[in-house]
Homo-oligomer: A and B are copies of this chain.
Amino acid sequence: MTTRTEPDALLLLLGPRPGRDVGRWLQAGLRAAVADGRLEAGAVLPSSRDAAAALGVSRGTVTTAVDVLVGEGLLVARPRSGVVVAALPAPPSGRAGTAAPHPGGAAPGVEPGSGPRPAPGARPVSVGTPDPALFPRAAWARAVRDGVRGLADADLGYPDPQGLPALREALAVHLRRARGAHVAAEDVVVVSGVAQALSLLARLLTAGRVAGARPAGPVRVAVEDPSSRGALELLRDAGLHAVGVPADVEGLRADLLPDDARAVLVTPAHQFPRGVVLGPARRRALLAWAAAGDRLVLEDDYDAELRYDREPVASVQALDPERVVLLGSVSKLLSPALRLGWVVAPPRVVGPLVEAKRHADLGTSVPEQAALAALLGSGAYQRHLRRARLVYQRRRRLLLDALAHALPGVEVGGVAAGLHLVVPLPGPAAERAAVTGLLAAGVPAEPLSGTGVDRHESGVVVGTARVRDGDVERVVRVLRAASLTGSEKLVR
């Protein structure tokens, strides 16, 4: 099975090198050769140096192409034997969400709740779900092995409900570097995803155990409008009253935050669903509001590391660690199937939160915590981030180029980051047509109107993580047809 591919054979496979777009030619050629079996599963590619020489391209062009195809699961980088052609993935299982996806009400780390029920056996695919084909299965298994091997016997009893110290330390280092957060290990609480963090914090707010005593009526919490349906459902389930505050092209209208709210849930790095960054003046207004009434800012940092245009936008938490609670998880970068997240909070929140976590489930699985610590410590997490970013950036670029061509008057939202885009549409009929058409095409989608709290706009939130080259045309066709539905505002 370990055919060694000669450098010159690559040139034969790929055909003549074009005058420009060499990177795209190399990637497309390799992808096609793997897909149709000319490059067999198990075949070993030549070194980047040899391949670059044979093809007459730079080594960087080769390594970028290899990174992209590794990210797509078509190639596998093995420590000693080099880059190998992957076995093609198995077809989706019977209960797979990919075969018959359902609208989700996807959210910053929070899954669907309301909305149409999925058919029995089918799982909805949220618009914020990463491409599962990119999940580094082998690297995760190795991280579990290494992490478990490194645990002390004492770590294998009942867990520390705040989280494994080694992971809290690794997260503090990572969040300082990658998010500019102001954090030490003792400020971190490990949780089973952002959904659990929200659920626990919501209960603490309801009980008056953080941000002021329990009032007579329900505790009020401000949320962005539009916002995540899943997060809204969690807050309401915990007994909170969610008050919508408009979010526009600069994010949350912090000047409109109500005085009677105890906290606000906000997505500063990448507003959900608009995909915009909270502007500097808004950040100042947000923190002034919090300081004026001992209120809490819950900063949902759900996909802040997936930025394509520039370095990540720093977190708000660093500006006021006493009032901002930073929430994050591995859901967008690794997989939401892992249920691993973190909260960075001031001491007056950490104490009650750890108690709440203990009462909820005693703590998060120690072997998984050890694995994430190993992944962060070895740099494998950061390498995976770079690869995933390359793959997603390329897919979005193709889709956005095609949309710009097909819908020239339409301003697509949220292009700079994340796993979803927002396409405004002329009305509810167009919205329905777009959602239905995209779901039928196997693309996660949800109505923009469904993300509204008090106000409802028409449009569609499109999950882009799995939109590959071959899917672009279909997606564009659906969106173009929908934009022509039920309105005079025709887009030509």
The proximity string for A residues 143-177 relative to B, scoring 1 for CB distances below 8 Å and 0 otherwise, is 01100110111111111100001000000000000
Q: Which residues of B contact A331 (CB under 8 A)?
A: 158
- Tally chain A residues at the interface, Cβ within 8 Å: 68
Closest to A118 in B: B160
- Cβ of A351 to closest chain B Cβ, rounded Å: 12
Please provide the chain A residues from 236 to 294 with a CB less than 8 Å away from any CB of chain B in the complex: 237-238
A282 to B142, CA, bound (A): 50
Point out which of A138, A157, A358 has the most chain B C-beta atoms below 10 A from its C-beta: A157
Check B158–A129 contact: CB distance below 8 A.
Answer: yes
Name 26 A/B residue pairs within 8 A (Cβ), A-sorted: A92-B153, A93-B152, A95-B154, A99-B154, A111-B358, A126-B157, A126-B158, A132-B154, A135-B156, A137-B148, A137-B151, A140-B144, A141-B148, A141-B149, A144-B145, A144-B367, A145-B145, A158-B331, A159-B339, A192-B364, A193-B362, A195-B361, A199-B360, A238-B359, A336-B362, A339-B364
Q: Does A98 contact B (CB under 8 A)?
A: yes
Residue from B234, B335, B362 within 8 A of A359 (CB atoms): B234
Q: Does A196 contact B (CB under 8 A)?
A: yes
Q: Does A133 contact B (CB under 8 A)?
A: yes
Point out which of A99, A124, A151 has the most chain B C-beta atoms below 10 A from its C-beta: A151
Please provide the chain A residues from 400 to 431 with a CB less than 8 Å away from any CB of chain B in the complex: none
The proximity string for A residues 122-137 relative to B, scoring 1 for CB distances below 8 Å and 0 otherwise, is 0111100100110101
Q: Which residues of A contact B (CB under 8 A)?
A: 89-90, 92-93, 95-99, 110-113, 123-126, 129, 132-133, 135, 137-138, 140-141, 144-145, 148-149, 151-160, 165, 191-193, 195-196, 199, 233-234, 237-238, 331, 335-340, 358-368
- Cβ of A431 to closest chain B Cβ, rounded Å: 23
Check A97–B337 contact: CB distance below 8 A.
Answer: no
Residue from B99, B157, B192 within 8 A of A365 (CB atoms): B192
A110 and B195 in contact, given A156-B135, A157-B97, A337-B159 (Cβ under 8 angstroms): no
Point out which of A124, A129, A367 has the most chain B C-beta atoms below 10 A from its C-beta: A367
Q: Which residues of B contact A364 (CB under 8 A)?
A: 192, 339
A361 and B193 in contact, given A93-B152, A111-B158, A153-B132 (Cβ under 8 angstroms): yes
Check A192–B153 contact: CB distance below 8 A.
Answer: no
Closest to A134 in B: B156
Check A361–B199 contact: CB distance below 8 A.
Answer: yes
- Cβ of A380 to closest chain B Cβ, rounded Å: 15
Check A360–B362 contact: CB distance below 8 A.
Answer: no
Check A157–B137 contact: CB distance below 8 A.
Answer: no
- Cβ of A101 to closest chain B Cβ, rounded Å: 9
Check A132–B156 contact: CB distance below 8 A.
Answer: yes
A381 to B85, CA, bound (A): 34
Check B165–A95 contact: CB distance below 8 A.
Answer: yes
Check B365–A339 contact: CB distance below 8 A.
Answer: yes
Check B338–A157 contact: CB distance below 8 A.
Answer: no
- Cβ of A232 to closest chain B Cβ, rounded Å: 12
Check B192–A336 contact: CB distance below 8 A.
Answer: no
Q: Which residues of B contact A368 (CB under 8 A)?
A: 365, 367-368
- Sort A-B residue pairs by CB-CB distance and give the 7 closest, nearest first: A96-B154, A132-B156, A337-B366, A93-B152, A141-B145, A196-B361, A132-B153
Q: Which residues of B contact A151 (CB under 8 A)?
A: 137, 337
- Cβ of A320 to closest chain B Cβ, rounded Å: 27
- Cβ of A328 to closest chain B Cβ, rounded Å: 15
Check A335–B195 contact: CB distance below 8 A.
Answer: no
Residue from B153, B155, B337, B363 within 8 A of A157 (CB atoms): B337
- Cβ of A447 to closest chain B Cβ, rounded Å: 19
